[in-house]
Structure 1
Amino acid sequence: MSTPWLPLTDAAQLTAIADESRQHPVIIFKHSTTCSISAAAKAKIERQWAASGLDAVPIYYLDLLRFRPLSAQIAEQFGVQHESPQLLLIQNGEATFAASHMGIRLDAVKAAVAS
């Protein structure tokens, strides 16, 4: 099973994601298409997704270069510092877990979902 990326392209989606996260966890992955570290983090997520146990968790994908203003809005709305690549776990309308660069690990995300 490949990673079921959901494109994050519009500011209105952030409100919907916050609302959705009150029902179940949601992941946002911020990716720079010109950064090799970001490409490695994205590839690691894609390799590990099927075995991660997170298949019921929606995962949104933000292309930072195409939708740069959304990254700033994410940082402001969820109270996190912008980093790239960055993975955020949104639960109950808040970022309950954030990781960046090579610190992005799906086992850590799964542990955060379970807690």
Structure 2
Amino acid sequence: MINWIPLTSLDQLQGLLNNQQVSAIFKHSTSCGISGMAKRNLERFANLADKPYDVYYLDLLAFREISNQIAQIWQVEHQSPQLLIVKGNSCLFDASHGEIDFDDIVNYLK
């Protein structure tokens, strides 16, 4: 199961940056079929997991400014859909489009 945590403010983003805990961010375009497919795939495999995983969910259409800040802070090119695994000011992993895989969440959020 994925516990989607809406990422809706720059204060939340600053909290992730200041935190030394590993966190996952899924950037999703609600109008993109590929993004919808990636989200459904994550949810499908998460339903088979032995525990729930907290993943921050960013609606790109509603919060583009936050997406721009993510690109700047963690020095990643803006993509949609995109999965980032971050720890403080380091981006440990990022994937986009068909490269997004639930196993990456499991590997980093043990």
In the alignment, what sits opposite 1:99? Answer: 95
Q: Number of aligned pairs? A: 110
Cα distance, 1:65 vs structure 2: 0.3
Unaligned runs of 5+ residues in structure 1 are none
TM-score, normalisation: structure 1? 0.85
Question: SS state of the match for residue 51, structure 1?
Answer: coil
Change (3 A) 1:41 1:54: farther
In the alignment, what sits opposite 1:63? Answer: 59
How far apart, CA to CA, are the structure 1 residues paired with 2:102 and 2:37? 14
Change (3 A) 1:19 1:53: farther
1:47-90 deviations in Å (ceiling 9; x for gaps): 111334673x4210000000111111000011111000000001
Cα distance, 1:93 vs structure 2: 3.1
1:86-112 deviations in Å (ceiling 9; x for gaps): 000012431100000011001133334
* Identical-residue share of aligned pairs (%): 41
Query: Between Structure 1 and Structure 2, which shows a larger proportion of strand residues?
Result: 2
Say whether residues 1:35 and 2:32 are aligned partners.
Answer: yes
How far apart, CA to CA, are the structure 2 residues paired with 1:52 and 1:98? 21
Matches within 5 A, 1:47-62: 47-52=44-49, 55=52, 57-62=53-58
Give, as a single letter, the amino acid of the residue that structure 2 aligns with 1:9: T
Unaligned runs of 5+ residues in structure 2 are none
How far apart, CA to CA, are the structure 2 residues paired with 1:81 and 1:53? 32
